[in-house]
Amino acid sequence: MSLPQHVGIIMDGNGRWAKQRNLPKIMGHRNGVKTAGDIVKACAERGVKALTMYTFSSENWKRPKEEVDALMALLEENLKKGINELHANNVRFNVIGRRKGLPLSLINEFDRAMALTSVNTGIVLSLAINYGGRQEIFDAACELAARVSDGRVKIDEIDEKKFGDLMYTKGLPELDLLIRTSGEMRISNFLLWQSAYTEIYVTDTLWPDFTSAELDKALAEFEKRERRYGG
């Protein structure tokens, strides 16, 4: 089986899942967290090398403060509960996105989790939090300009690889497969640079209902694709 080395997932549909069941929205997010844990395990078992999950976008700050606060608390709570299991399963934990604006206690938990799992050699799990694809490219451009300005890089040395190495995802394999749940046909500012030749798979399944069997459907579809990279 032709397996994607790096899978990105836009985990969409938590709110709709809760609404369909007349539940508070936070219950959709709680069930979405459980699904995320199951899918990390499933990807690791199938041999995926890297998994990047769109957890909280830079645009999600526009949501009601009560919902945002609940999401941040849920992230921190589940990371505290789950990091030891991730570590025991040889998962290397990573976070991409801007830290500014995130609760300090959550940042501290991120740092603890990344330090604990830093030498693990299994799947790399990256949570994209306070993340936006445009801001990632902007941050890379600013960093490159700073390096040119202070003499660390010469203009004629700049190439696509040097620029790509300034992305948050430096060191990860190329993004092979992007999965979006809930049927929306857009990539919502997620991994814009990395998605240049990515295969996209969209399912109507809402994220809390996305099972390992649904993952296998996406992987089977990926195997059928002929990747020509413009050739």
Q: Which domain holds residue 125?
A: 6-132+174-224
Are 140 and 166 contacting, i.e. CB atoms less than 8 angstroms apart? yes
Q: Is the pLDDT of residue 6 over 80?
A: yes
Alpha helix segments (H runs only) across 4-64: 14-20, 25-46
| Res. 173 pLDDT band, cuts 50 70 90 | very high
Tell me, yes or no, whether 95 lies in a domain. yes
pLDDT at position 1, please? Answer: 62
For 76-101, write each residue's pLDDT tens digit: 999 999 999 999 999 999 999 999 99
Tell me, yes or no, whether 143 lies in a domain. no
Q: Is the pLDDT of residue 227 over 90?
A: no
For 7-38, write each residue's pLDDT tens digit: 999 999 999 999 999 999 999 999 999 999 99
Tell me, yes or no, whether 114 lies in a domain. yes
Tell me, yes or no, whether 60 lies in a domain. yes
Q: Return d(Cα 11, Cα 17) in angstroms, integer.
A: 12
Burial class (CB in 10 A: 0-12, 13-18, 19+), 159: exposed
Q: Is the pLDDT of residue 230 over 90?
A: no
CATH of the domain at 73: 3.40.1180.10
Strand partners of residue 124? 50, 92
Residues sharing a CB contact under 8 Å with residue 216, sequence separation 6 or more, in sequence order: 46
Mean pLDDT across the stretch 120-131? 98
**Active-site positions?**
12, 60
For 178-192, write each residue's pLDDT tens digit: 999 999 999 999 999
Tell me, yes or no, whether 210 lies in a domain. yes
Tell me, yes or no, whether 165 lies in a domain. no
Structural domain count, the chain = 1
Quick one: the chain helix, strand, coil %, rounded to 5? 50, 15, 35
Tell me, yes or no, whether 43 lies in a domain. yes
Tell me, yes or no, whether 96 lies in a domain. yes
Are 98 and 131 contacting, i.e. CB atoms less than 8 angstroms apart? yes
Query: How much is the pTM?
Result: 0.95
Strand partners of residue 200? 178
